[in-house]
């Protein structure tokens, strides 16, 4: 029977529930259990696809094309197991399902209410992942903080769910904060006591408290928390600030969180967790033999979460190369013809980021012209690839004012244009070309060499594409389509023949890089940048 772990948050947001959930999952997986993680987000949007990155950070796209919360990225990076639409549910989706059923007449004669209809729908979505026997343990992370008005139906659903499946088949882990008051020189437990009381008011007694803290918790303090929050002393777990999120599973192992969880769920301890590969990765990450600086040119640079997966991919690829990758974010709006040399000074490689709309586009194009001409390694992702095509069109092929029709509908040279199937689409939500598609790699190209395969699948999120009417012209001049969708001939990868590393993809490789499988394009881009740094 599938067991369920619920992770709630108290006192404040941003405690890192996603990382804690992923770390517990990692430990259980390393003991041989099959684990998945699900996140409930208590907002009304159906999914985060229509949210501005400033609001919500990056939108993470799954294999099946769901636009989801960035925590799913952590789940995949830690577990190396793909997630899907079922792993991220919002309040909007719960209500939409209930309202659709109401219109179908499924509740005929009944008043539709938060309890039981919304809570039933939440419970149904908790159960979905555990139903087909694919997982031994499902971890469900509840977004928001206990006490929020919008989280209430989720807490109530968890209370009912536990009552229904039995208390030894489920577990509540409450993540909380133990603040340090500098003036008093003390760690304070009161906010945790209050947040556990709030949970108790809703009928939930947490089994485990994971306490975020800047200082170690003494035995006395742990005893005090255990006594006032009504949990076992070994269920008070310290989660101290770590230098990298990838340390957290090992910190939780030290606290024996995996043992506590398994014994409360009445599951066998099985083997000691096998974390050999994880530790090797950490060893390489923490002991680099070289260092490079990569420029990340984008327009959401004020908010690091907007490029979360890209930054994490550089961590994986850096560790692979035993090289510290320092990523400098450069606002594309700040780059001009006059200052480009100065803005990109000292960088060993440039990544031009994904994005939407006109803002900052010319700066991206200017940066690409510079690195193409100076033979500096370049990696373009999605809009970054489209910008590389525009730049080559304008400056090599002489197509004056070549552009994407996203930015300039009347461009004389629409080298990037809207995909045919997108033209009839009116609604913005969930209608891009999303999720995994196949890409054939052309023999002998850099892309084929890097992947070491002739076919791959990669994830997408876009409406515009390379305009194949120009393909011959581009290839004759040295920009080749080294990756192409075999079904519709959409250009997936472009690269330059005569450049040390100039590769750009229409897809998002950053969504598939994990600790266990660093993405080959990132690994090779870092290697090329390292080679460039050594030559200088
Ligand atoms: N705006 C571009 C498109 O829709 C690129 C999207 C992206 O970078 N994710 O095609």
Interatomic CA distance for residues 207 and 213, integer angstroms: 19
Averaged pLDDT score across all residues of the chain? 96
Name the nearest CA neighbour of 500 among 452, 532, 535.
532
pLDDT at 53: 85
Residue range 23-32: mean pLDDT, rounded: 97
Residue to mutate (ligand 1; options 310, 381, 383, 418; most atoms within 8 A of CB): 383
Per the CB < 8 A criterion, the answer to whether 248 and 2 are in contact is no
Question: Cβ–Cβ contacts within 10 Å for residue 165, how many?
Answer: 18
Main-chain phi, psi angles of 6, to 5 degrees: -110, 135
Helix (H) / strand (E) element for 36: namely strand 35-41
Our mutation pick for probing the ligand 1 site, out of 406, 428, 508, counting the most ligand atoms within 8 A of Cβ, is: 406
To the query of whether residue 131 is one of the catalytic residues in this protein, the response is no
Q: How high is the pLDDT of residue 82?
A: 95
Q: Return the percentage of the chain with pLDDT > 70, whole number.
A: 100
For residue 303, what pLDDT is reported? Answer: 87
The two tokens of residue 201 are 């008011």
Q: Which residue has the higher pLDDT, 429 or 91?
A: 91
pLDDT attached to residue 54: 85
Question: Is residue 426 classed as helix, strand or coil in its secondary structure?
Answer: coil
* pLDDT at residue 302 is higher than 90: no
Give residue 132's pLDDT. Answer: 87
Residues with CB under 6 A from ligand 1: 354-356, 382-383, 406, 461-464
Contact indicator for 83, 141 with CB cutoff of 8 Å: no
Closest residue to atom 8 of ligand 1, CA basis:
354
510 catalytic? Reply is: yes
Residues 477-502, mean pLDDT to the nearest whole number? 96
Which residue, 456, 522, 527, 383, is CA-closest to 77? Answer: 522
* pLDDT band with cut points at 50, 70 and 90 for residue 536: confident
Burial class (CB in 10 A: 0-12, 13-18, 19+), 498: exposed
| Residues composing the chain | 536
The tens digit of pLDDT for each residue in 325-340 reads 999 999 999 999 999 9
The H-or-E segment that residue 171 falls in is strand 170-177
pLDDT at 511 over 80: yes
pLDDT tens readout for residues 97-152: 999 999 999 998 899 999 999 999 999 999 999 998 999 999 999 999 999 999 99
Task: Tell me the DSSP string of 458-522.
Answer: EEEEESEEE-GGGHHHHHHTTEEEEEE-TTT--EEEEEETTSSSEEEESS-GGGG--SSS--HHH
What band does 409 get if pLDDT is binned at 50, 70 and 90?
A: very high
Residue 338 is among the residues annotated as catalytic for this protein: no
Going by the DSSP 8-state scheme, the letter that residue 432 receives in this structure is S
The rounded Å distance from CA 506 to ligand 1 centre is 8
CB 332 within 8 A of CB 367: yes
Instruction: For residue 477, count CB atoms less than 10 angstroms from its CB and return exposed for 0-12, middle for 13-18, buried for 19 or more.
Output: middle
Cis peptide preceding 116, ω within 30 of 0: yes
Residue 26's pLDDT is 97
Query: β-strands 3-9, 170-177: how paired?
Result: parallel
């Amino acid at each position: 029977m599938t067991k369920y772990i619920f992770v709630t948050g108290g006192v404040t947001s941003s405690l890192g529930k996603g990382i804690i959930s992923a770390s517990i999952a990692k430990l259980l997986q390393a003991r041989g259990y099959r684990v998945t993680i699900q996140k409930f987000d208590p907002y009304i949007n159906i999914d985060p696809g229509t949210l501005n990155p400033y609001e919500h950070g990056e939108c993470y796209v799954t294999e099946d094309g769901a636009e989801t919360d960035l925590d799913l990225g952590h789940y995949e990076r830690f577990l190396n197991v793909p997630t899907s639409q079922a792993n991220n549910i919002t309040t909007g989706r719960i209500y939409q399902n209930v309202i659709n059923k109401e219109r179908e007449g499924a509740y005929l004669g009944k008043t539709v209410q938060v309890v039981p209809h919304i809570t039933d729908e939440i419970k149904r979505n908790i159960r979905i992942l555990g139903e087909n026997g694919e997982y031994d343990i499902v971890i469900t992370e509840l977004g928001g903080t206990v006490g929020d008005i919008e989280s209430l139906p989720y807490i109530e659903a968890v209370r009912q769910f536990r009552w229904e499946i039995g208390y030894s088949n489920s577990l509540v882990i409450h993540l909380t904060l133990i603040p340090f008051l500098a003036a008093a020189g003390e760690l304070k437990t009161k906010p945790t006591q209050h947040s556990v009381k709030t949970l108790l008011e809703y009928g939930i007694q947490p089994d485990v408290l994971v306490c975020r803290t800047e200082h170690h918790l003494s035995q006395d303090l742990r005893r005090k928390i255990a006594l006032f929050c009504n949990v076992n002393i070994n269920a008070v777990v310290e989660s101290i600030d770590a230098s990298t999120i990838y340390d957290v599973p090992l910190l939780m192992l030290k606290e024996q969180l995996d043992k506590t969880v398994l014994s409360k769920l009445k599951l066998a301890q099985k083997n000691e967790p096998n974390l050999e590969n994880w530790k090797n990765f950490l060893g390489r990450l923490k002991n680099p033999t070289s260092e490079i600086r990569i420029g990340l040119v984008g327009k959401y640079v004020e908010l690091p979460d907007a490029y979360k997966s890209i930054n994490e991919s550089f961590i994986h690829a850096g560790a692979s190369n035993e090289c510290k990758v320092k990523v400098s974010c450069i606002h594309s709006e700040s780059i001009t013809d006059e200052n480009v040399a100065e803005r990109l000074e000292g960088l060993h490689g440039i990544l031009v980021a994904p994005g939407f709309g006109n803002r900052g586009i010319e700066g991206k194009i200017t940066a690409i012209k510079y690195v193409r001409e100076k033979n500096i390694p370049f990696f373009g992702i999605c809009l970054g690839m489209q910008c590389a095509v525009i730049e080559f069109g304008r400056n090599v092929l002489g197509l004056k004012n070549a552009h994407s029709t996203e930015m300039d509908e009347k461009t004389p040279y629409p080298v990037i244009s809207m995909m045919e199937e997108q033209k009839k689409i009116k609604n913005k939500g969930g209608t891009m070309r999303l999720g995994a598609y196949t890409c054939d790699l052309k023999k002998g190209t850099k892309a084929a060499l890097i992947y070491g395969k002739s076919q791959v699948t990669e994830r997408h999120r876009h409406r515009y594409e390379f305009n194949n009417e120009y393909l011959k012209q581009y290839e004759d001049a040295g920009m080749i389509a080294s990756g192409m969708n075999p079904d519709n001939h959409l250009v997936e990868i472009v690269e330059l023949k005569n450049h040390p590393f100039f590769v750009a993809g229409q897809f998002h490789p950053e969504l598939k890089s994990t600790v266990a499988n660093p993405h080959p394009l990132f690994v090779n881009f870092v290697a090329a940048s390292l080679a460039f740094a050594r030559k200088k």
